[in-house]
A and B are shown apart, each in its own frame.
Chain A
């Protein structure tokens, strides 16, 4: 069976060839990928595998760098660099910090 991401030859509509700026968080994801790769924490093929492992709904819904950060996270858990618990706790901290900043 064809994997969802393997779309060569399917109808996809017109290509939108417009320049666009990257959001600061997208640049950070790119930098994170380059650093992790340079330091041997992840291979580009692992990044691809975990992007391709996204369910079709998630794959279509996520933007390019959302797929990347999701895949980087999965790879670092698989590699044992980070644990799910560490990531979960840190996400909660950041959410709380963000909520506090928005409220003030």
Chain B
């Protein structure tokens, strides 16, 4: 898509998901907000679904990443193996560089 926000992250970058609860249609799961993970890949750039949900164009397109999290980082009471991970597709405007 030509009208796209430039990608800020590359695979391997550590990122933190913003803690935010605006009204509307959000694709970022609540349980991942505030958590940190690693960029696994850039999936492309897509019209922002939060804007599409109000019948607006959602442009410029937002880069979408697959972010890998350790399950143990997401759930306080996680009982599974330490190596377990989950990958979640998250738009760039929800991500910040992790310190």
List residues 49-68 of chain B with CB under 8 A from any CB of chain A: 49-50, 52-55
Inter-chain CA distance A2–B49, complex, in Å, is 19
Q: Mark A3-30, 1 if CB is under 8 A from B, else 0.
A: 1001011000000000000000000000
Main secondary structure of the interface of B (DSSP, over half): loop
B67 to chain A, nearest CB (A): 15
Report which of A8, A45, A49, A79 forms a contact with B30, defined as CB distance below 8 A: A8
Report which of A1, A2, A9, A46 forms a contact with B75, defined as CB distance below 8 A: A9
Chain B residues, Cβ within 8 Å of A79 = 55
Say whether, besides A1-B21, A6-B29, A49 and B75 are in contact (CB < 8 Å): no
Asked if A45 contacts B31 (CB within 8 A), the reply is: no
Asked whether any CB of chain A lies closer than 8 Å to the CB of B81, the reply is no
Q: Chain A: which residue is nearest B21 at the CB level?
A: A1
Inter-chain CA distance A52–B30, complex, in Å, is 13
Asked if B52 contacts A8 (CB within 8 A), the reply is: no
Asked if B54 contacts A6 (CB within 8 A), the reply is: no
Asked if A9 contacts B53 (CB within 8 A), the reply is: no
Say whether, besides A1-B21, A9-B75, A52-B25, A46 and B54 are in contact (CB < 8 Å): yes
Asked if A49 contacts B25 (CB within 8 A), the reply is: yes
Residues of A within 8 A of B (CB): 1-3, 6, 8-9, 43, 45-46, 48-49, 52, 78-79
